Structure 1
Amino acid sequence: MTGLLPSPIYPVVDHPRWIERLGAAGARFIQLRLKDLDSETLRAQVIEGQEAAARHNVRLVLNDYWELALELGIDYIHIGQEDLDTADLEQIRAARISFGISTHSHEELDRALSVEPDYVALGPIWETKLKKMIWGPQGVEKLSEWRRIIGPAMPLVAIGGITKDRAASCLSAGADSVAAVSDFIASADPEAQVSEWLKACSS
């Protein structure tokens, strides 16, 4: 268990160039979520992201590819519920790699807590069009419920439909960190967005 997360803002990005840009702007906790790449391109992009993270003191989270994370020594792995069936958590712990788990229901939360992750994520808090979800919007009230269930020591991440203006309400409801995709990488000025998010989450 790592205790507090590295930052109250948690951009989720689809290419290592964003780690360079957002890290230079002050983001310190970034998830690299890569999809549909051949193994050689995947490995090259993860290494590129790892190098950018090192330059900017970013704690890098790799989504899903736990074996590659073990090989390269990535800081964190984010694991979906389906990945819990195959991920070797003993190996991950032995390598001192932190891991977080997505949750969308009480059953999934119970399953996540049974393996003692370093954080749990709840989503989608609001409707999101970036990812097809079988789960409807959870709402900030569910964050408060998750906080009561998991206790004060387990870090909690909010994700799904979150904007800069919605971030503070998630933190007030019990989240330790707020994740977003489009509000960063689809912004006209992603670097300024990092500053605005940091300001919004510290007020």
Structure 2
Amino acid sequence: MTLPARFYPIFDHPEWFARMLPLGVRMAQLRVKGASTRTLRAMIAEARDLCARHGALLVVNDHWRLALDEGCAAVHLGQEDLDGADLGAIRAAGLRLGLSTHDEAELARALAARPDHVALGPIHATTLKPMKHRPQGLARLRRWRALCGPLPLVAIGGMTPARGAAALAAGADCVAAVTDVTMARDPEARVREWLAALEDVPRSAADPAPSGAMERRTT
């Protein structure tokens, strides 16, 4: 299993997708909090269509039912969201599944769910939201690499282009970023910096050059 990109920005509105996909972003997450179901459905559909137009993978955070209804290819769930998720329905629909992890108990639970990738965070301190987990650091990231075997691993939390490159060197396959892009003075320039910084990290045999966005998983 591989991911279609090394850079994985997370956005809260399809407007970001319209701005960033033309720059070469090939994998992005839509994470929206507090919106109505009607609004969420419309935003997911818009982001889906933008990603299809640009050959990118849309990952829908949390709202797996809407992702399924709208014909999306991937979802990402936190540990709390995993409690109420119908993994059978997700697998039957062919959705690719990403799961968040913060400690070894959560990793064991995630691996038991047979995801398509796991995320570890926060690697560094982050101001995005209050975190009950301390920064994991690159040593923990290296341990996750060993525990996950060939399963794709995403690093998230307090990331910058330089930190992202270090995370790839430590074993991550992909690096997620939120506020480093959305709160940048020039978000487009920052995305270009990200893409260049991660592309320069030598690829390993387990990290082949992407050939395009993922299609839905077949079961």
* TM-score, length-scaled by structure 2: 0.89
Compute the displacement of 1:189 (Å).
2.0
SS in 1 for 2:68: helix
Residue identity matched to 2:195: L
Compute the displacement of 1:188 (Å).
2.1
Cα distance in structure 1, aligned partners of 2:197 and 2:73:
26
Aligned residues: CA RMSD: 0.8
2:134 aligned partner:
136
After TM superposition, the structure 1 = structure 2 runs for residues 41-190 of structure 1, keeping only pairs within 5 Å, are 41-151=39-149, 153-190=150-187
| Structure 1 residue corresponding to 2:196, chosen from 193, 196, 199 | 199
1:37 aligned partner:
35
SS in 1 for 2:42: helix
Instruction: Report Cα offsets for 1:6-54 as digits up to 9, x if no partner.
Output: 1000000111111111101110000000000011111111111111111
Residue identity matched to 2:179: S
Question: Percent of counterpart pairs with the same letter?
Answer: 51
Instruction: Report Cα offsets for 1:150-179 as digits up to 9, x if no partner.
Output: 11x100000000011211100001000000
SS in 2 for 1:96: coil
2:205 aligned partner:
none
2:12 aligned partner:
14
Cα distance in structure 1, aligned partners of 2:79 and 2:139:
22
Residue identity matched to 1:108: E
Instruction: Report Cα offsets for 1:70-119 as digits up to 9, x if no partner.
Output: 10111110010011111111111111110100000000000000111000
Check conservation: 1:168, 1:201, Cα contact below 8 A.
yes
Structure 2 unaligned regions, length at least 5: 201-219
Cα distance in structure 2, aligned partners of 1:194 and 1:187:
9
Check conservation: 1:103, 1:121, Cα contact below 8 A.
yes
Check conservation: 2:41, 2:70, Cα contact below 8 A.
no
Check conservation: 1:25, 1:192, Cα contact below 8 A.
no
Cα distance in structure 2, aligned partners of 1:19 and 1:137:
28
Structure 1 unaligned regions, length at least 5: none
Cα distance in structure 2, aligned partners of 1:185 and 1:69:
23
Residue identity matched to 2:172: A
Cα distance in structure 2, aligned partners of 1:56 and 1:95:
23
Residue identity matched to 1:144: R
Instruction: Report Cα offsets for 1:103-138 as digits up to 9, x if no partner.
Output: 000000000001110000000000111111100100
Check conservation: 2:8, 2:177, Cα contact below 8 A.
yes
Cα distance in structure 1, aligned partners of 2:121 and 2:27:
18
SS in 2 for 1:11: strand
Cα distance in structure 2, aligned partners of 1:84 and 1:42:
19
Cα distance in structure 2, aligned partners of 1:128 and 1:66:
26
* TM-score, length-scaled by structure 1: 0.96
Residue identity matched to 1:143: L
Residue identity matched to 1:101: L
